[in-house]
Amino acid sequence: MVISMDVAKHCIVKPGSKLRLKHRDPADTFGKKRDDKRHQKILGRLREMQHLLYADKRYSLLIILQALDAGGKDGTIRHVMSGVNPQGCEVVSFKAPSSEELAHDFLWRIHKSVPSRGNIGIFNRSHYEDVLVVRVHDLVPKEVWHRRYRQINDFERMLTDNGITILKLFLHISKEEQKRRFEARMRDSSRNWKLSLPDFEERQHWDNYTEAYEEVLHRCSTEWAPWFVIPSDRKWLRDQMVAELVVQALDRMRLKYPPPSVDISKVVLE
């Protein structure tokens, strides 16, 4: 099936450009309508491509998901990757660094979690927390987090030079939508566990996080690893656009099945 390139055109952050998130409508649909039948076809294509990636074993795909609380990272993983073979897919969630991780440079724990060849790796939050939360909460001096932009770009360039395609997705929601999702979780006893006091407290820093994300999108959207801003107030659109971008990334690898390890013409089964 043909995957539309409109997704990339609408959502990409052009390297070197500055943007204001207020100019990217988190409820935008770009004129698209919900099409569950088409979405299932795209997910089917994703399953096929993942199988091919796993067989090919030359490349890997790293999907980086960043969002404010309730932005939909877990939901995106659950819905978009629902049919892939878990044997070839790794999900890593980065929490506050441990004492061991703090004893190393900030990219140490990230590098060892990069997917191996043939696999899809998904980062639920990532190394970008080290220029986001540390900036908003003043956890390290400015001169420390400010030079991390360059270090991140160099790190990602090294990964892409070694056969790892990086797909960076910022799931963009409005403050009003975040409130609605928090309220829905409060009403649903099966989802209460997802709430914590820091989630509510972080809303007080909404403007500071917005500013920090805008700086990330400006400084770390590169030719080798551009950022995509995905309007995420509507979950169906979020899932559809993310699935299309993942399939596009896999298609660009020009994957192929390796030759058999034995001469099948000479195999005799008795």
Nearest Cα to Cα of residue 212 among 4, 76, 11, 21: 21
Tokens of 86: 């878990």
Q: What is the pLDDT of residues 1-47, one digit of tens each?
A: 444 557 788 899 999 999 999 999 999 999 889 999 999 999 999 99
Residues 241-269, mean pLDDT to the nearest whole number:
91
Indicate the domain borders of the chain. 6-256
Q: How many CB atoms lie under 10 A from the CB of residue 126? A: 21
Q: Chain-centre distance of CA 253, in angstroms?
A: 18
Residue 26 is given by DSSP the state T
Tokens of 257: 């099945």
CB neighbour list of residue 134: distance below 8 Å, 6 or more residues apart: 140, 145
Q: Chain-centre distance of CA 160, in angstroms?
A: 16
Q: What is the pLDDT of residues 157-192, one digit of tens each?
A: 999 999 999 999 999 999 999 999 999 999 988 888
Query: Looking at residue 87, what is its pLDDT?
Result: 93
Spatial contact of 77 and 180, defined as CB atoms under 8 Å apart: no
Looking up tokens 């609605």 gives 180
Q: Which fold has domain 6-256?
A: Rossmann fold (3.40.50)
Tokens of 185: 């979780």
Query: Looking at residue 5, what is its pLDDT?
Result: 54
Distance CA 223, CA 71 (A): 26
Q: What is the pLDDT of residues 223-238, one digit of tens each?
A: 999 999 999 999 999 9
